[in-house]
Amino acid sequence: MVIPENILAQCHMHGVEAYPEETCGFIVGNREDQDSLETVLPMRNIMNELHEEDPEQYPRTARDGYMIDPREQMILERSLKKEGKEIKVIYHSHPDVGAYFSEKDKEDAMWNGKARYPGVTFLVCATTKGKPDGAILADFNENSGDFDITPVLPDSSSTSAGLVGGTYGVTGILPTIKFIHEWKNGNRQLEHGYFRFVPPRQVRDLQQELSARSNGRHALVYCSGRTALFELLVYLRESRPQTNLHFSINSTFLSESLHNLEIPCHLLDIENLIEPENLSAKQGDVLLLEMKDPETFLRKESEWFGNLKRLRVPVIIFAACPPDFEVWPGGLTYWVSNIKTPDSSSDISGIEGGVILSSADRQIAELTEIRKRNGPILSARNAAVFLEFFLENKIDLKHISVLSGIENRQKVSSTESLISQRLCEWEHASSGFLFPSGMSAIFAVLNLLRKKEKPQVIVIGLLYSESYTLLMDSGLSSNWEAIFLGLAELERLPEILSDKTAMIITETITNPLGEVPDLEKIGNIANSFGVPFVVDSTLASPANCQPMDYGVDYVIHSTTKYLSGSNDHGGGVVLVKSNEDALALENFQKYWGLTISPLESVVLLECMQDFEERMERFNTNGTAIAKFLSEHSAVAHVYHASLPSHSSFSTAKKLLSGIGGVVSFTLKDESEEGLQNFHDKDFSAILKAPTLGSNQTLICPYPMLTHYFDTDQELEEIKLPRHLIRIAAGCEKDLAPILGDLNGALLRTIR
Ligand code: PLP
């Protein structure tokens, strides 16, 4: 067996992370393809727990033993089976004892003299003094009745695309430039990608399960039922010249919040149904019916639904639960539901999500794109919990509350408030609100501040590409306007500001060119004009800058990045200064149902424990890599504000205490061949994946991922070289292997 380089690197990385304890997990691949090794899935090593419970039966601890959590394994195997995948390799690490297959390993791998897992290979990765130190493979040999041991040979021609971050990983490997071209041109689907763009396996499985149960063609899941409903209503509002919403709703909170959507609303009498002939698609009529027992109603009124279908008037049912029966009358366009685990179920009570079920192909495809942009995604962890419940039929679908669980949030609020307390201390803010993703946090602030009477947003510098898309693509039916100013054009700001300006938005450090806008200057102007000042501070992190000290009103972070660092968490946060802003944001978050999963907040809080220490290393590593590159003969230009040659060097000195790990650069060989020569090398310590703030150093040809279809002129306008390479330095203690990797790849570009 040949282990792809990226896969082996991930197994080693988990060994290093768990050091001085043992880690364990699986490499999974396609059932039909004997050689396929696609994804590394670390599992929970429960050895310490077993030892604590029964030291006599389990004398070992995680320091010298491993036991994969059987429950986690069972759930995984079930979902792999549905996907046509299987476990190909079981791996574990050996801290400080070298790479060998021990007698205990052998004993665990056999049963009655035969292989316990026929066809499965064992991989042992040695971790010596916290560093990777070789690996071996062990395969059961039927003839000898023993294991054949071979040293691991990494595959130098690896093109496999793996998941980064384990079971709930948030990004995927993009192994070659050719692979990226194929994906961008629609000739290759990504199995794993950045979590907001390529739904994680658990989310895909849940959507499949729900659509199969509901008799509709599609299921699209969201962070809550209310979000699902609101995303749909706004989509309908935006995709037609006019919308008239006729609704019958029981909950006051929901009917009150509908008014925030700026859609003309009319009450519908469910006892005395409106004649279909009085409705028309042309005048934008849409029906929304919230009901506790839709089944009877749907059966009784099938003729009414049929007439609405003929008139092409969309009908939405907002119901307590996804249907587990075959009711899909002609005319019903959308079924929107809340999904929630029962409150009684101990540690996972009140886990929630939402779903839109529909057979409308085009509309669901468009809603999927909007979900990527707005970011109200369902956590893969929640999806895994729901799947388990659905598959074991533990959830009685009829008894899931239609309310979005706001009342249950009290229980998880302690984790959330610990997170926001800590962030408020770091950022000098007064309140913090957690969201399902960074984009969802940006979406909330943008939609809270931008109104009909204040349609204008002023953007300073280059925004994250999706924030730009959100700004430009949403609100098509409104008179939204965005004005873009370069960092050197700040003197124009006072003349542009008007009573139509909703907000000024910028980023503390821009991505990927590392520019640093003068927050102090902008803050002074914004404050004197009374215009809200919003900053996405993801690239600076709370450790390197406190934008509120310079007059910023809203600070946003994608917690998916530095704050978690582990590549297995997705989330976002908005921090505010004034109580008035906090109240408005709290209400917005509530009525949209944009809340973070309690499971994600637990992971985030855990990761945040050593955030400050990690951030110091991100800063030193970023600076060291920038210096190394700037002195390399194969490099043309380096973008990192620690370098005196960078245009933001002095502003960064004034505002930032560290520059972070994002370092971009261009090669002297500007051609695509040059990029390919660099990128397609087999790195041993660096992973080729998008995202930043990851504890492990990542690399990607950034503009190829975010601006692939832009013309040369468009790229020129934003000063983005097409073949720019972005390194997201990790917080590794030893930078030598990373610099070694970079040097090797750079030398390949010199002809
Ligand atoms: N802001 C910045 C600067 C980012 O780089 C990103 C993601 O890359 C986001 C916001 C969006 O965060 P998320 O991916 O958590 O939605």
Q: How far apart are CA 89 and CA 76, in angstroms?
A: 14
Half-sphere exposure of 296 toward its Cβ, with a 13 Å CA cutoff? Answer: 3
CA of 283 to the centre of ligand 1 (A): 38
Of the candidates 320, 323, 258, 316, the one whose C-alpha atom is nearest the C-alpha of residue 289 is: 316
Residue from 435, 442, 559, 561 whose mutation best tests the ligand 1 pocket (most atoms within 8 A of CB): 561
Torsion of CA 86, 91, 92, 94, to 10 degrees: 180
> In terms of residues, how long is the chain?
751
Supply the pLDDT for residue 112.
87
Using CA positions, which residue lies closest to atom 8 of ligand 1? 691
- Averaged pLDDT of the chain: 89
pLDDT digits (tens, 9 = 90+) for 431-440: 999 999 999 9
pLDDT digits (tens, 9 = 90+) for 180-191: 999 999 888 888
Tell me the average pLDDT across 158-186: 84
Find where tokens 């706001």 sit: 406
Supply the pLDDT for residue 345.
47
Tell me the average pLDDT across 20-44: 90
**Of the ranges 69-83, 323-337, 463-477, which one carries the lowest mean pLDDT score?**
323-337
Using CA positions, which residue lies closest to atom 14 of ligand 1? 438
Amino acid letter, 421: Q
CA of 514 to the centre of ligand 1 (A): 15
Tell me the average pLDDT across 94-119: 91
Supply the pLDDT for residue 408.
45
User: In 96-157, where do the E strands start and end?
Assistant: 110-111, 114-115, 121-128, 131-141, 146-151, 154-155
Supply the pLDDT for residue 477.
57
More confident: 301 or 714: 714
Any idea what the Cα angle at residue 432 is, between residues 430 and 434, rounded to 5°?
180
Cα distances (angstroms) measured from residue 474 to each of 231, 379, 588: 12, 24, 17
Residue 685 has pLDDT above 50, yes or no: yes
Q: How far apart are CA 548 and CA 709, in angstroms?
A: 37
Supply the pLDDT for residue 407.
41
Tell me the average pLDDT across 682-704: 94
Using CA positions, which residue lies closest to atom 13 of ligand 1? 438
Query: Residue 467's CB: how many other CB atoms inside 10 A?
Result: 22
Return contacts of 117-121, CB within 8 angstroms, 24+ apart.
117/87, 117/90, 120/87, 120/88, 120/89, 120/90, 121/1, 121/88, 121/89, 121/90
Amino acid letter, 62: A
CA of 171 to the centre of ligand 1 (A): 12
Three-state secondary structure call for residue 64: coil
Domains of the chain from N-terminus onward: 5-152 (3.40.140.10), 201-404 (3.40.640.10), 415-609 (3.40.640.10), 613-748 (3.90.1150.10)
Supply the pLDDT for residue 480.
85
Supply the pLDDT for residue 330.
62
Q: How far apart are CA 176 and CA 158, in angstroms?
A: 9
Query: Residue 67's CB: how many other CB atoms inside 10 A?
Result: 21
**Of the ranges 312-326, 396-410, 614-628, which one carries the lowest mean pLDDT score?**
396-410
Using CB distances shorter than 6 Å, the residues near ligand 1 are 196, 375, 437-439, 464, 507, 511, 536, 538-539, 558, 560, 570, 572
Supply the pLDDT for residue 397.
44
CA of 436 to the centre of ligand 1 (A): 12
Furthest CA-CA distance within the chain? 84
Supply the pLDDT for residue 133.
80
Half-sphere exposure of 700 toward its Cβ, with a 13 Å CA cutoff? Answer: 25
Supply the pLDDT for residue 160.
41
